[in-house]
Amino acid sequence: MARLVTIVLALVVSMAAGTSHARRHHHEADRNPGAVEFDYYVLSLSWAPTFCATHRDRSDECAQPHGFVLHGLWPQYAAGGYPQTCSGRLLTPQESQVAATVYPSAQLAAHEWARHGTCSGLSPRDYFQAAASARDSIRIPSELQPGDRTASMRAADIVRALRGANPSLPSRAIVVNCGGGALTEVRICVDKDLAPRACGPDVRPSCGAAPVAVPGAHQ
């Protein structure tokens, strides 16, 4: 009888260990195997009218009028530079569906996951949720809502408007980028908890001091 009890107990312990291993394996498989150490994120918000003015064939991104749209959430090093393409982990069809609710297009979502998300240490679902949360944490002031006509603003005015709508943003957390004399993007630096923080030395503006065009959404 004692021997039977010993055998049963051994089987129970073995099954429990197997279940624990399976759960741990599933959890590890869900996480990103290419995770690296990094210091903070750059949240990139693209000004859609500028992009769509030269990409009219991108109906998936440009069919509807938009202002700022999510470009990406990028791990960064405090001293400068960033990790990229940290693993070959691909998105499942279900994860791609989640991403499609966050990014302007499935193509952009897949690119952002492969280049930046694989270095975040997060599963695809958690990474996309973090990107959406970071995007939604930024209030866009009325001055930066897309109108019907092209406006003219200085980069300093764009920073001032964003800080007015988001008082917790330090001035060094906001970087405005331009191309061809037009607003292309705003980058906002946040820590790993998505709280605003100063950007690293290599996250620099590219607009200069002169006014730039802010294209309208219906042009």
**Residues involved in catalysis:** 71, 112, 116
> What's the rounded Cα separation, in Å, for the pair 162 and 155?
11
> What's the rounded Cα separation, in Å, for the pair 190 and 75?
10
At residue 110's C-alpha, the angle toward residues 104 and 116, to 5°, is 100
Backbone angles phi, psi at 199, to 5 degrees: -75, 160
Q: Which helix (H) or strand (E) holds 44?
A: strand 40-47
> What's the rounded Cα separation, in Å, for the pair 206 and 203?
10
